[in-house]
A and B are shown apart, each in its own frame.
Chain A
């Protein structure tokens, strides 16, 4: 069966520090991968979308970047965190575009 792993669950980082959040998928190949951010009490903002290795679509200009070094690995990064980067980050995958998506448990990032 397919599973998605996202870590860490919580993270407190100082302003200006780097960030690396990792998401891996098991049990499927060539998934569509997504990174979302959710501010407290708000909806999900799509940050990055990937249909294959090295293919990253950035949805909003920001202080973050994403990479897909392997088929089932999706990494969210920042060189220098801002206070405004705080939020709840969710990784997800779907088998085909527009089909059902499966979400990780999320990472609560607090930038202090």
Chain B
């Protein structure tokens, strides 16, 4: 299995601004998922992008995938204080196997 590496480790922005976080991985994938974790809670699935997709939207979320660079980005537009959480990526399948593994995440803080 392989885990993604999120960057930056921490991000602090003002409400209304956009937040961008990145994920890099090492081997080929079938898909890549993004999850969110509020403090002290379980992870919640946000979005899954397949290896043959380049961009996907869900509400205020926009995910891109560049398989040639082995990287993905998660953009949260018009952020809100409620978006404060940790965000994790999980590369899936392909050369890394099918176990779901996670990196250390990006801790996003959205301030009023």
Mark each residue of chain A from 45 to 87: 1 if its CB lies under 8 Å from any CB of chain B, else 0.
Answer: 0100100000001010000000000000000000000000000
Interface of A is mostly: strand
CA distance A57 to B101 in the complex (A): 13
Interface of B is mostly: loop
B78 at the interface (CB under 8 A from A): no
Q: Do A106 and B40 touch (CB < 8 A)?
A: yes
Mark each residue of chain A from 86 to 103: 1 if its CB lies under 8 Å from any CB of chain B, else 0.
Answer: 001010101001111111
Number of interface residues of A (CB under 8 A): 27
- Residues in A whose Cβ lies below 8 Å from that of B33: 100-101
- Residues in A whose Cβ lies below 8 Å from that of B98: 32, 97-98
Say yes or no: A92-B40 contact (C-beta < 8 A), given A43-B88, A43-B105.
no
CA distance A38 to B98 in the complex (A): 20
> Which B residues, 28 to 48, have Cβ-Cβ distances below 8 Å to chain A?
30-31, 33, 35, 40-45, 48
Chain B: residues with CB nearer than 8 A to chain A?
A: 1, 3, 30-31, 33, 35, 40-45, 48, 88, 90, 92-93, 98-105, 107
Chain A: residues with CB nearer than 8 A to chain B?
A: 6, 32, 34, 36, 41-44, 46, 49, 57, 59, 88, 90, 92, 94, 97-106, 108
